[in-house]
Structure 1
Amino acid sequence: MPDDLLRYVIGPTPASWWWMWLSLLLVAVLAGWYVAVILWTRAPELRHVPHVVERVQAALVRRRFATAVRRVGERYRAGELGGAQAGAALSATLRDFLTAATGARAQYMQLGDMADGEVARAAPLLARINDVQFNAHSAEDVADLSGATEELILTWT
């Protein structure tokens, strides 16, 4: 039998090994997609975030807002911001932090409402910040308020 006819006897060439790895990768991606969709679309009462993740997330939020407050203080000390502008920036940043940390809509709350709610610890500091923001003859020091705001944010529980 001639050698050129032997290729018809042994069958097709085997598939390359990388097809197997590609198929396994696609199956893993598909399974991950289904898990993500199921977890994302669960009812809110069934969404349970592990305690460790909550603590890490809270620490990251505190650090992000403390950095923003520190930058406002640095800009004030550098002369880029006036007292009223720095007070407005501190107030907005602190209110945004309170909203992120507690879920209370602190951006829209009056100081009297804050004193009665879950953000009561921040009400005296916000009163001092408001004094700087709205009183041109305020005796409050913006640099001290920046430090106090940063400390409040970092120690918030």
Structure 2
Amino acid sequence: AQMTFLDLVESNLQLLERICELLGVDNVAFQYLEGLDSIAHLPDDFDAIYCQGSLINAPFEVIHDEAQELLKHLPIGGRWIELAYPEQRWQREGRLPFDEWGDKTDGGAPWVEWYDLPKLQQRLAPAEFDVILSFNFHNDDFNWFDLVRTA
């Protein structure tokens, strides 16, 4: 399997590259996300896109555009796997404005937005997906989505 790491924090990519070197993993590529144009250079045949809390740190409209660019690289049958924070946690923690909630969840992130399945599906539309998994865990602190693209 070939893995491509995409991140807007260059030091994260450097850390991942070092870890891969230490583990002897050599089937990897690293792409620094400077803007949406950076996504255009990615392969167009990913088997899966895995987002570990990375697409919750900007307003929905901004991330919608980024997700649409990423979807150009995920063919029918590809998996979209995403970890996020659920609305239940946002409610429990006082319904803070998203530009303040990141202080509580991510140690000072400038923006954190909750997601549930309908909101994620709206962000990914018009692409369509079957749901493999969609659930909250760890006392509703986190949620996990695993979707397979159908259209």
- Normalised to the residue count of structure 1, the TM-score between the two structures is 0.22
Structure number having the greater strand percentage: 2
